[in-house]
Structure 1
């Protein structure tokens, strides 16, 4: 069953929030997210329900520690999409600016605190900003997304379920995308250590002009 635009936007919003750090406000949203998950088709909902079941059976302290160990300490699971395409190179800095410009073109500004290619940020933008542009950005970085998903699944991480749901919102992989994924697995991201500060200051979740939602 192909999701409607509204169902896909709902799934993106849930995925975005679940990919955030599991602090007290994160846990407070869980009943709402569980309810929202029940409104989307099974390919999107079943993985999210599996993740939420894991959360319900895990202590907040253990879940937070697992989040940090997974996303903060392992580049293999980096939530920053441009890392997989460009590594820490100057080209990555320019790619980050393209994300920022896409958000501005949709009338959204970013708060300080997070880079604009963080998967949670991109999903939030796709859900509430410009769905067509959000879908394009996710598609342009599909190889990196799939690498994160495959890596999390191989590691037995519960966050693999969230990435499975993200993948289910996107078109089937084509031959060129399969080749890009295989190449990325074999070679890894490009290497050329440079400072990114001149190109991309830290940014956070998309916000409407004039203040937070």
Structure 2
């Protein structure tokens, strides 16, 4: 298992008391990750410390405000690729079928393209394949990192670390295109409701079945994964 991808999967999950208890181990894994620069490892320390020591309800409120109330910070990756369009539904079905074909029946309420779920899956894959798939999301991760840095959020370090683990430089034009979309105001709940009501994602058969790039990426995910709250490999 790639323990660093697993650690980042947990860090980017909804904060719980169980996660807080595991933060010393998670922080230790990331502090020892030689694929990250010394600067990247140092940048992760404030996030690790905050998740391990701050009031759990404050952490949960911050998490929801960042990732659930702002579409430009969404952890659902297809949101950044397809928005609420029909293609997103097809890509989601393809991903769900890939999980099931690999012997994994999701037991989470999150959507299949939720970043922590994908990272947990990639943590079980051969390193070259996991890195290749992660590299395909580098522009999304970089754009989210930039937005979080603007908000002075320690979560930015987790996305910057993922870009480093991908081993590529994010495409500047693709990042710029994502950043062209205005930041949404997480406090404007009425506006947020209107945005989410504009389109409905349907998870039924789609003749397009997602874009070819998504199908190619998912075709390389062929090992089962079991969700587990602990870092240690079985």
> TM-score scaled by structure 1?
0.78
Work out whether 1:62 is the aligned partner of 2:58: yes
Moved more, 52-61 or 157-166: 52-61
Aligned length: 194
Q: Tell me what 1:26 maps to.
A: 19
Give deviations 1:96-122, integer Å, cap 9, x for gaps.
233224434544332241111111011
Cα gap change, 1:183 to 1:158, in 2 (>3 Å): same
Match of 2:201 in 1: 195
Alignment of structure 1 residues 44-193 onto 2, 5 Å: 45-56=41-52, 58-129=54-125, 131-173=127-169, 177-186=171-180, 193=199
Q: Deviations over 1:139-194 (max 9, x none)?
A: 223222221111111111121111111111012226xx211111222257xx9723
SS in 2 for 1:172: coil
On the 8 A contact 2:76/2:115 being kept in 1, the answer is yes
Residue 3 of structure 2: aligned partner: 10
Change beyond 3 A, Cα 1:195–1:81: closer
Instruction: Provide the residue aligned with 2:214 in structure 1.
Output: none
**Gaps (5+ residues) in structure 2?**
183-195, 207-223, 228-233
Shift of 1:79: 0.3
CA distance in 2, matches of 1:133, 1:107: 18
Secondary structure at 1:113 match in 2: coil
Deviation sequence 1:24-69 (CA, Å, 0-9, x none): 1111211221222232124253333231123345322221211111
Equivalent in the alignment of 2:210 = none
Distance change (3 Å), C-alpha of 1:112 and 1:19: closer
Gaps of at least 5 residues in structure 1 are: 1-5, 201-205
TM-score for both structures, normalised by structure 2: 0.72
1:35 aligns with 2:31: no
Closer, same or farther: CA 18–85 of 1 in aligned 2, 3 Å: same
